[in-house]
């Protein structure tokens, strides 16, 4: 909550959050997620402002961020993710319902996608959507599991790509960067080599520099 308050006050904020959250529902955990951090913080922010955007580039679709705000026109949810894949939803056809129609922007990519496709998605879809929506706050759910050397998820990003994606986001609004840490990013899974852990540390450093300059 403190990070949100700082961002609302005009100070960019960087949060290291564990466990991750975008699969957790209001009354249940899912996919190693206990609390839906981005969704909770968006709800908190909406008590103080009208429009919040969430940009999620975790390799998995944030099914319960979308689920929480599927019928809302006050939250714009943009997700780049591998599809078809866990959590089973996130097709381009899912765009919200009722008042929320058009406020869920899903960009599904196949396995093996790299920064060329991500960059196109930012420039052609996400940035125009953010500019049209005019959010008062942007929350970035920055999962790191799209890294090229992650043995499980099959995407082709590199540490600097996360910073480049962050630089693409409009900077005229208070900015909350939400870095979602998973177990492998804290060195607690022995199948990840030290070199891979170093890359995750580099992402955190790059993201902090993008936020704070």
Q: Return the pLDDT at 145.
A: 83
Per-residue model confidence (pLDDT) at position 78: 96
The whole-model pTM stands at: 0.82
Its sign, for the CA torsion 152, 158, 159, 161, is negative
Virtual CA dihedral for 86, 24, 3, 53, nearest 10 degrees? 60
Task: Pull the structure tokens for residue 167.
Answer: 């630089």
CATH code of 188's domain: 3.40.800.20
Find the catalytic residue in 23, 60, 144, 173: 23
> Does residue 87 have a cis peptide bond before it, meaning omega lies within 30 degrees of 0?
yes
Q: What is the pLDDT of residue 140?
A: 85
9 membership: H or E segment, kind and range: none
Owning domain of residue 164? 2-212
Asked if 173 is an active-site residue, the reply is no
| Domain count along the chain | 1
Low-confidence stretches of the chain (pLDDT beneath 50)? 179-194, 211-212
Those residues whose C-beta lies under 8 Å from the C-beta of residue 143, and which sit 6 or more positions away, are 20, 22, 56, 57, 58, 59, 60, 180, 182
């Amino acid at each position: 909550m403190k990070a949100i308050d700082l961002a609302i006050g005009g100070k960019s904020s960087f949060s290291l959050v564990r466990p991750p959250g975008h699969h957790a529902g209001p009354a249940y955990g899912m996919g190693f997620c206990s609390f839906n951090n981005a969704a909770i913080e968006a709800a908190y922010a909406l008590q103080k402002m009208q429009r919040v955007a969430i940009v999620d580039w975790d390799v998995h679709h944030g099914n319960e961020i979308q689920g929480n705000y599927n019928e809302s026109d006050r939250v714009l949810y943009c997700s780049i993710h591998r599809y078809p894949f866990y959590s089973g939803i996130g097709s381009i056809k899912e765009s919200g319902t009722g008042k929320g129609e058009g406020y869920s922007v899903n960009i599904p990519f196949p396995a093996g996608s790299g920064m060329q496709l991500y960059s196109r998605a930012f420039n052609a879809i996400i940035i125009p959507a953010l500019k049209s929506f005019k959010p008062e706050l942007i929350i970035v759910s920055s999962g790191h599991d799209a890294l090229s050397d992650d043995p499980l998820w099959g995407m082709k990003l590199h540490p600097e790509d996360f910073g480049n994606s962050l630089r693409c986001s409009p900077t005229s609004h208070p900015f909350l960067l939400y870095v979602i840490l998973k177990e492998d990013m804290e060195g607690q899974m022995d199948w990840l080599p030290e070199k891979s852990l170093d890359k995750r540390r580099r992402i955190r450093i790059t993201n902090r520099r993008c936020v704070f300059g």
